[in-house]
Amino acid sequence: MAETGRLSAAPSFNLRADPVLALRVAIIIAVLVLWQAVAASGLLYRDVVPSLFAIGGALVKLLTSPEYYRNLGVTAGEVGAALLIGGLSGLVVGLILGGSRLLARAYEPYLYYLGPTPKIIFFPIMIMWFGVGPGSKVAMGAISCFFPIALSAAAGMRQIEPILIRVGKSFRANTWQMVSKIYLPAMRHPIINGVRLGLGVAIIGTLLAETKLSNQGLGFLIIQAYSLFDMPRMYAMLIALFMIAIAANAVVGWVGNLDRVKAGAS
Amino acid sequence: MSQVASVGAQGSDGILVVDDIVKRFETAEGPLTAVDHVSLSVKPGEFLAVIGPSGCGKSTLFNIVGGLVDSYEGTVTVAGDRVRGPHPAIGMVFQEESTFPWRSVIDNVAFPLEITGMRKTERLERASHFISLVGLDGFERRYPAELSGGMRQRVSIARTLASEPKILLMDEPFAALDEQTRLLLGDKVLQIQQELQQTTLLITHNITEAVQLADRILVMTYRPGRVKRIVDIDLPRPRSSEIVSSEAFGHYVAQIWGDLREEASRGMRDEETRRKA
């Protein structure tokens, strides 16, 4: 699963030599051409499907405005804090559930039921608890990423080769050494996968919350553009956001591939 | 049976003394005695092999001596110190693939030293020493995935040796390897044992391996696992794998197979009846 979802056919850019890359590029071109055709045809209201040039212009304007970067910083900070809080608590809960058959049987069903629940229903509560500022957004992001990370960590812990645990015990590693030197490194792939899923839903949770009730952040900018009916700007924002999501995913995947190098340095 | 069993614990000159171990398991078909009044003693510098058919409880014995199993009857002592849980003087080498895939060879070997809190420069130095002892110079920075099965098992052995155990405890360390690699690694073990005067307890089902390596061989019975016989191997040291073609070697192999055959066929029949049921 880790392999198939990766968007990094990085090295070769030779379209003829790489049919996968050629197909990927082809569909993007097809969508752009179709979009431009629809925009030019006037079949839909001009502002709903603005021309690529209008979007491109808005994108340039957006990417050169300090306002965008300030709000990007706010959202990035919220997502980062959410990932930190939700991720660490998810990791701890996952380790506990992964380590205890009894607790896993008792509590893991809750995680499975709550995991797929749309977290936005908690937003009103979070506003009451943490206010309309970044606090409630962080909370939404944290709740969102807690579940996939906890479940991945619990599953990952159960997949650790028992022999590695026996080796650790035979060398008399204490609990902390077992966790830091055996459990966590042995679980690196499921954990990174969990963080990847968690990052995705943390971004979703945070942005969704921002679009609902906020006065800053990318979600706020998008909904502001929408209410001002500035469609090129809104599409530009979506494109920018899309790029950020891809970049974030690539970074997490890259960190995941680092493990050999990292292990060598420890 | 008790007087036969007591043959194992020859006096008190052993550095590792296993005294009257009994281990029972609860199974679906009722209680099962895996190890039945087993005693043995390993003298300092001695290489003792425990051999038995599958299901003789030798792996259970390995885990008990290694301190990974509790709730058994009898005692295990190392230089008079009772073993309760993994003992610092005992280093275990497992049958399974047990290197840490996320650590390079040198970091694998340095693992036990990291656990005891040795300084980094010192532990890496010590680890390199044991890496070259098992003949893996130049592979320090490689990862287990880049090595062959035999090389990985040598990493495991080096890792355990790096903890400088008084007693090296090995459970069929070469079981997953082909016969030729096994003989050659046996040479390596002989050479290391020669060099370190390493007291070793080897658990195995491989007769050739046991005769090639051991000073004494303890033959176990099939279920319940008891001590059937102890055979002194009077082959000259230093030895090498070439010894397998000698007449004396063949004689020992035949003698031990004579003992084991009966047990192994009993195990085979038992296995068949259980599968039929």
- Res A6 pLDDT > 50: no
Q: What residues of chain B, 81 to 140, have a C-beta less than 8 Å from chain A? A: 85-86, 88, 91-92, 94, 96-98, 100, 102-104, 107, 111-112, 114-115
pLDDT for B1: 38
The pLDDT tens digits for A30-85 are 999 999 998 888 777 767 888 888 999 999 999 999 999 999 999 999 999 999 99
pLDDT for B169: 95
* Distant-in-sequence, close-in-space partners of A97: CB < 8 Å, separation ≥ 6: A103, A104, A107, A108, A111, A150, A153, A154, A157
CB nearest B68 (choices: A166, A177, A263): A166
- Res B246 pLDDT > 80: yes
d(CA B208, CA A91): 49
Nearest CA in chain A to B157: A167
A253 contacts A8 by C-beta, under 8 angstroms = yes
Q: Where are the domains of chain B?
A: 2-89+166-276, 99-164
- Res A199 pLDDT > 50: yes
d(CA B155, CA B149): 10
d(CA A199, CA A82): 9
Between residues B8 and B123, the one the model is more confident about: B123
Question: Which residues of A fall below an 8 Å CB-CB distance to B?
Answer: 161, 163-164, 166-167, 169-173, 177, 181-182, 185-186, 188, 259-260, 263-264, 266
pLDDT for B226: 87
Q: How far is A179 from chain B (nearest CA, A)?
A: 12
CB nearest B94 (choices: A163, A260, A263): A163
pLDDT for A259: 58
CB nearest B107 (choices: A161, A177, A266): A266
* Distant-in-sequence, close-in-space partners of B42: CB < 8 Å, separation ≥ 6: B14, B15, B16, B17, B48, B167, B199, B200, B201
- Res B12 pLDDT > 80: no
CA A34 to chain centre: 29
pLDDT for B225: 86
Between residues A260 and A47, the one the model is more confident about: A47
Task: Tell me what the pLDDT averaged over chain A comes to.
Answer: 87
The pLDDT tens digits for B200-218 are 999 998 998 899 999 999 9
Asked if the ipTM is above 0.95, the reply is no
The candidate with the shortest Cα–Cα distance to B35, out of B43, B23, B47, B25, is B23
CB nearest A169 (choices: B68, B97, B102): B68
Q: Is A256 helix (H, G, I), strand (E, B) or coil?
A: helix
d(CA B31, CA B35): 12
Answer whether B100 sits within 8 Å of A182, measured CB to CB.
yes
Q: Lowest mean pLDDT: which of A131-145, A218-232, B59-73, B257-271?
A: B257-271
- Cis status of the peptide bond prior to B238, with omega within 30 of 0: yes
Between residues A255 and A55, the one the model is more confident about: A55
Between the alpha carbon of residue A100 and those of residues A105, A108, A185, A247, the distances in Å are: 9, 11, 19, 36
pLDDT for B195: 86
- Res B24 pLDDT > 60: yes
Task: Residue A169: list chain B partners with CB under 8 A.
Answer: 68, 86
Confidence of residue A254 (pLDDT cuts 50, 70, 90): confident
CB pairs under 8 A between A and B: 60
Choosing among B92, B115, B156, which should be mutated to test the A contact, i.e. which has the most A CBs within 10 A?
B115
Between the alpha carbon of residue A38 and those of residues A109, A232, A238, B256, the distances in Å are: 48, 15, 19, 87
Number of continuous H segments (helices) and E segments (strands) in chain B = 9, 10
Task: Tell me what the pLDDT averaged over chain B comes to.
Answer: 88
- Res B8 pLDDT > 50: no
pLDDT for A11: 52
Q: Where are the domains of chain A?
A: 1-49, 59-265
B188 contacts B131 by C-beta, under 8 angstroms = no
Superfamily of domain A59-265: MetI-like (1.10.3720.10)
**Locate tokens 């070997």: which residue?**
B109
A176 contacts A229 by C-beta, under 8 angstroms = no
pLDDT for B6: 42
CB nearest B96 (choices: A163, A169, A264): A163
Answer whether A172 sits within 8 Å of B104, measured CB to CB.
no
Fold exhibited by the domain B2-89+166-276: Rossmann fold (3.40.50)
The candidate with the shortest Cα–Cα distance to B154, out of B101, B207, B108, B200, is B108
Between the alpha carbon of residue A28 and those of residues A3, A11, A25, A102, A231, the distances in Å are: 22, 19, 5, 50, 21
Q: Is B68 on the interface with A (CB under 8 A)?
A: yes
* Number of neighbours of residue A82 by Cβ within 10 angstroms: 29
The pLDDT tens digits for A123-173 are 999 999 999 899 999 999 999 999 999 999 999 999 999 999 999 999 999
Confidence of residue A249 (pLDDT cuts 50, 70, 90): confident
Q: How far is A193 from chain B (nearest CA, A)?
A: 17
